[in-house]
C-alpha cells in the first residue's frame, strides 16, 4: 500500500514537472515577445509569481474555497448517523490518524468529493441526493473512494496541478487578448530597425500560447483520470466489496441532475464527472473522469479478489489496454484478498422520484440547513426555516397553538446568562443545575438546543439512543420519549 502511494507520487510528480516546464517556457517566450530579447527572464518571473501566489492561496484555503463553492455544510452526527459510521469505518480501514470532517451539500444531484491538503485536515462532502439514493454498501463504496483520494495524497496534488493549469490559461489569455497586439507592434518596430530574431520568437510565442493550454489541459485530464482509476482500486481494497462502488456509480450515472458551481478545475475532485450532463460525451480525451460505464464494468469484472492485481487484470481486460495502471511494486504487497459478501443492513432506499424518496431528500436538506422540525398533536409536521421569528403559531389543521421550541430555549438562555453573570457559577456547577433531559414530542425530525451552550442539535427519526452528545461542548443530553 505504502509502496503504491510512493510510486503514485513519483509518477504524478513527473507529469507535474512537465506542466511546470510548460508554464515557465510559456512565460519565457511571452516575456521575449513582450519586452524584446531581454524580457525572457522577466516573463519567467511573472509566470512563476502568478503560479506561486495562486498555489499559496490554494494551499492555505483551497479546502474552504472548494467547500464554500459547493455550498457544503458541516454537520453533526445526528443529522445522518449512518454517514458518520461509514466514514469512521473507512477511516479505520485506511488507518488515517484523524477522522475527516463530514459535510453535506444540500443538492438533489448525487455526487461526493474529498478535500484538504493533508490527511489531518481532510474533509469529505456528500450531497443530500447521494445519501437518499444509496444503500449502506454503496455509500461505503463512495466514501472509500473519497478516503482513497485522501490516503493517496491526491487532493493536494490535483489542487496544485489545477492551479498550474489555471496559470497557464491565464497567461496565454493575457497574451492573446491584450499583449498579442502590442507584441506585434513591437515586432514591426524591431523589423524596421533590422532585428530579425524577435518576429520568429513572437510567432513561436503565439503558437505556444495557443498550444500550451491545450497541452496542459490534456496532461491535467490524464493525471485526473488515472487518479480516479486508482481511487476505485483502493476503494475496493479498503471495502473488499467491488459491487458496492459499482452499483453506487450506476445509480449516480442514472441521475441527470447537476451540481451548482462546478468548473473545470474543481470537477476532478468529484467522484463522478459533475459536468457530464451538459451534453458532452464523457468518453473524450478532455474529460476529467474515465467513462463511468467503463469504471462499473471494471469493478464488476473483479470476481476473484479485491486486491490491486485483480483490479489491474480487470482494467486490462475491459479497456483492452496493456498499460500498467498500478506499478508492479504496489502489486506484490499481499496475497490475493478475498471479496466479502453483501452485508447491507436495512432496506433499499426508496426511489428518488417517488413521494417518500422526495420527502426524505427534502427533510435531509432542511436538517442540513438547520430547519426546526415541530410536530403538532394532530399529526401535522412543520418545518420552520432558521430565520423563523415568531414565537408561536397556530396549526392550520386543528387550530391548536404551537410554541416554537427555539423561542423557549432562547428565553431560557437569557435567564441562564443572567444567572451566570450574577454569581459567576463555575461551568461544573452550571452543568449540574440544568436539566439535561429532552423529551421527544414525536417520531419525526426534531431540533433541540444543548442546555449548557445552546448549540442546536438535530434528532433524526431513526435516532433511538437514550442520550446524545452535544457536538460543541460535549455535554450528554438524555433523550426521553
First to last CA, the chain: 48
Could you tell me the smallest distance in angstroms from the CB atom of residue 348 to other proteins?
7
User: Residue 165, SS3?
Assistant: helix
Give me Rg for the CA atoms of the chain. 27
Could you tell me the smallest distance in angstroms from the CB atom of residue 479 to other proteins?
11
Q: Burial of 249 by CB count in 10 Å (0-12 exposed, 13-18 middle, 19+ buried)? A: buried
The span from the CA of 450 to the CA of 326, in Å, is 49
C-alpha distances (whole Å) from 194 to each of 14, 40, 105, 191, 198 are 42, 20, 62, 5, 10
Contacts with 205 (C-beta within 8 Å, 6 or more apart), sequence order: 29, 30, 32, 33, 175, 183
Helix axes 81-93, 197-239, angle to 10 degrees: 100
Instruction: Please name every residue paired with 142 in a beta bridge, in sequence order, or none if there are none.
Output: none
- b/e 341-366 (16+ beta carbons within 10 angstroms → b): eeeeeeeebbebeeeeeeebbbbbbb
Contacts with 228 (C-beta within 8 Å, 6 or more apart), sequence order: 268, 289, 290, 295
Could you tell me the smallest distance in angstroms from the CB atom of residue 452 to other proteins?
25
Of 197 and 461, nearer to other proteins (C-beta) is 461
Of 345 and 421, nearer to other proteins (C-beta) is 345
Q: Burial of 216 by CB count in 10 Å (0-12 exposed, 13-18 middle, 19+ buried)? A: buried
Could you tell me the smallest distance in angstroms from the CB atom of residue 94 to other proteins?
8
Could you tell me the smallest distance in angstroms from the CB atom of residue 380 to other proteins?
21
The span from the CA of 309 to the CA of 41, in Å, is 47
Total Cβ atoms within 10 A of residue 195 = 14
Could you tell me the smallest distance in angstroms from the CB atom of residue 73 to other proteins?
22
Of 1 and 425, nearer to other proteins (C-beta) is 1
Could you tell me the smallest distance in angstroms from the CB atom of residue 359 to other proteins?
18
Of 63 and 243, nearer to other proteins (C-beta) is 243
Of 85 and 475, nearer to other proteins (C-beta) is 85
The span from the CA of 42 to the CA of 85, in Å, is 54
Site residues (CB under 8 A) for other proteins? 1-2, 81-82, 85-86, 88-90, 92-95, 136, 140, 238, 240, 334, 340-348, 443, 461-465
Of 23 and 457, nearer to other proteins (C-beta) is 457
Of 53 and 92, nearer to other proteins (C-beta) is 92
**Is 30:210 a contact under the CB 8 Å cutoff?**
no
Task: State the catalytic residues.
Answer: 146
**Is 429:470 a contact under the CB 8 Å cutoff?**
no
Amino acid at each position: 500500500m505504502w509502496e503504491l502511494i510512493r510510486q503514485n507520487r513519483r509518477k504524478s510528480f513527473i507529469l507535474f514537472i512537465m506542466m511546470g516546464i510548460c508554464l515557465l517556457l510559456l512565460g519565457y517566450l511571452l516575456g521575449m515577445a513582450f519586452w524584446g530579447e531581454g524580457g525572457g527572464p522577466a516573463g519567467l518571473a511573472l509566470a512563476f509569481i502568478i503560479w506561486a501566489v495562486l498555489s499559496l492561496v490554494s494551499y492555505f484555503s483551497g479546502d474552504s474555497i472548494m467547500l464554500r463553492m459547493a455550498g457544503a455544510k458541516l454537520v453533526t452526527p445526528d443529522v445522518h448517523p449512518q454517514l458518520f459510521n461509514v466514514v469512521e469505518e473507512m477511516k479505520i480501514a485506511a488507518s488515517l490518524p484523524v477522522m475527516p470532517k463530514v459535510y453535506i451539500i444540500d443538492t438533489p444531484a448525487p455526487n461526493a468529493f474529498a478535500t484538504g491538503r493533508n490527511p489531518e485536515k481532510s474533509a469529505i462532502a456528500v450531497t443530500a441526493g447521494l445519501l437518499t439514493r444509496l444503500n449502506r454498501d454503496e455509500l461505503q463504496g463512495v466514501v472509500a473512494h473519497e478516503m482513497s483520494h485522501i490516503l493517496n495524497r491526491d487532493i493536494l496534488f490535483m489542487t496544485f496541478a489545477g492551479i498550474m493549469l489555471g496559470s497557464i490559461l491565464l497567461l496565454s489569455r493575457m497574451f492573446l487578448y491584450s499583449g498579442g497586439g502590442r507584441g506585434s507592434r513591437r515586432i514591426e518596430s524591431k523589423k524596421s530597425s533590422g532585428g530579425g530574431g524577435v518576429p520568429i520568437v513572437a510567432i513561436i510565442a503565439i503558437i505556444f500560447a495557443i498550444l500550451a493550454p491545450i497541452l496542459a489541459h490534456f496532461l491535467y485530464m490524464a493525471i485526473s483520470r488515472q487518479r480516479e482509476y486508482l481511487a476505485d482500486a483502493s476503494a475496493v481494497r479498503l471495502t473488499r466489496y467491488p459491487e458496492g462502488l459499482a452499483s453506487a456509480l450506476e445509480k449516480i450515472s442514472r441521475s441527470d441532475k447537476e451540481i451548482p458551481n462546478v468548473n473545470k478545475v474543481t470537477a476532478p475532485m468529484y467522484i463522478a464527472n459533475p459536468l457530464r450532463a451538459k451534453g458532452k460525451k464523457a468518453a473524450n480525451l478532455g474529460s476529467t473522469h474515465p467513462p463511468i460505464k467503463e469504471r462499473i464494468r471494471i469493478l464488476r469484472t473483479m470476481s476473484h479478489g479485491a486486491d490491486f492485481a485483480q483490479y489491474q487484470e480487470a482494467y486490462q481486460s475491459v479497456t483492452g489496454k496493456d498499460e500498467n495502471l498500478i506499478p508492479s511494486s504496489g502489486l506484490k504487497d499481499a496475497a490475493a484478498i478475498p471479496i466479502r459478501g453483501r452485508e447491507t443492513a436495512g432496506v433499499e432506499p426508496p426511489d428518488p422520484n417517488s413521494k417518500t424518496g422526495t420527502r426524505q431528500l427534502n427533510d435531509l436538506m432542511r436538517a442540513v440547513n438547520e430547519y426546526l422540525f415541530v410536530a403538532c398533536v394532530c399529526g401535522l409536521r412543520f418545518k420552520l426555516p432558521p430565520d423563523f421569528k415568531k414565537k408561536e403559531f397556530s396549526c392550520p389543521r386543528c387550530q391548536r397553538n404551537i410554541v416554537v421550541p427555539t423561542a423557549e430555549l432562547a428565553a431560557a438562555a437569557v435567564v441562564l446568562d443572567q444567572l451566570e453573570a450574577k454569581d459567576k457559577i463555575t461551568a461544573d456547577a452550571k452543568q449540574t443545575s440544568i436539566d439535561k433531559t429532552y423529551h421527544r414530542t414525536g417520531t419525526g425530525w426534531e431540533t433541540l438546543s444543548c442546555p449548557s451552550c445552546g448549540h442546536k442539535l438535530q434528532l433524526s427519526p431513526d435516532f433511538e439512543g437514550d442520550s446524545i452528545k452535544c457536538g460543541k461542548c460535549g455535554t450528554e443530553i438524555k433523550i426521553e420519549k
